[in-house]
Amino acid sequence: MKRKLLAATFFALASSFASAADQSVFVTTTPVLDTDNHFIGITTGLDGILSGGLDVITFTGLAAGTYKFDVSVSGQNLSFDPLLSNLNGHTGVAVNAGIASFEYIGIIGASPFTLTLAGVAGPKALYSGDVTVTAVPEPSTYAMLAAGLGVLGMIRRRKSAAGADAA
C-alpha cells in the first residue's frame, strides 16, 4: 500500500511541477490527490502559446481503450484559437476570454493523447488545466452482462419448474 501511495505522490508531483511549454502529464482514471491530472503552462524560451507558439501537452499512463475526456483549460490575458486548439485532432470550445474546454470527446486508442493549444498571449499571461478521464465499457462488456443475466434467469426458471414438479 505504501508503494502505491509513494508512486501516486511521485506522479502527482511530477505532473504538478511539469511546467515546460511542451510537457507530459501522467493521467489516471482514479486520481489520488487534488493535484493529479493537472497541468500548468509557463513561458519557456520561444516555445509554447505563452511565447507565441503552440503548446503540446501529452497525456500518458492510460492503457488502450475508450475514454471519455473532459479537459478544461483556463487562462489569464490569453485568447485561445478555436480552430488550431485540439485534443487528438478533435476541436473543443475555445472562448476568447481565456477559457477552452474539450469536453466529452470519446477517443479510442492507446496513450499518449495530446492536447494542442494555440492562441495569442498578452503580458503576464498564464494558464492551467485539469483532466477528468473515465473509462467507457466496450459493447462486449454489455453483451457478457446480458448473457450472464440470461443464464441466471434460465437457472431460476429450471429451479422453479423443478419445485413445481416435486409438489
Question: Contact 38/130 with Cβ under 8 angstroms?
Answer: yes
Query: Which CATH number is 2-136's, of 2.40.128, 2.60.120, 1.10.260, 2.30.30?
Result: 2.60.120
How far is it between the farthest Cα atoms of the chain? Answer: 86
Under the banding of pLDDT at 50, 70 and 90, the label for residue 19 is very low
43/148: higher pLDDT: 148
How confident is the model over 50-101, as pLDDT tens digits?
777 788 888 888 877 777 778 888 888 888 888 888 888 888 777 767 777 7
Where do the domains of the chain lie? Answer: 2-136, 139-167
How far is it, in rounded angstroms, from Cα 130 to Cα 38? 5
Under the banding of pLDDT at 50, 70 and 90, the label for residue 103 is low
How far is it, in rounded angstroms, from Cα 14 to Cα 128? 15
How far is it, in rounded angstroms, from Cα 136 to Cα 65? 8
Q: If you average pLDDT over residues 99-104, what whole number do you get?
A: 67
Give the list of residues 6+ apart from residue 75 with CB closer than 8 angstroms, or none.
Answer: 41, 98, 99, 100, 125, 126, 127, 128
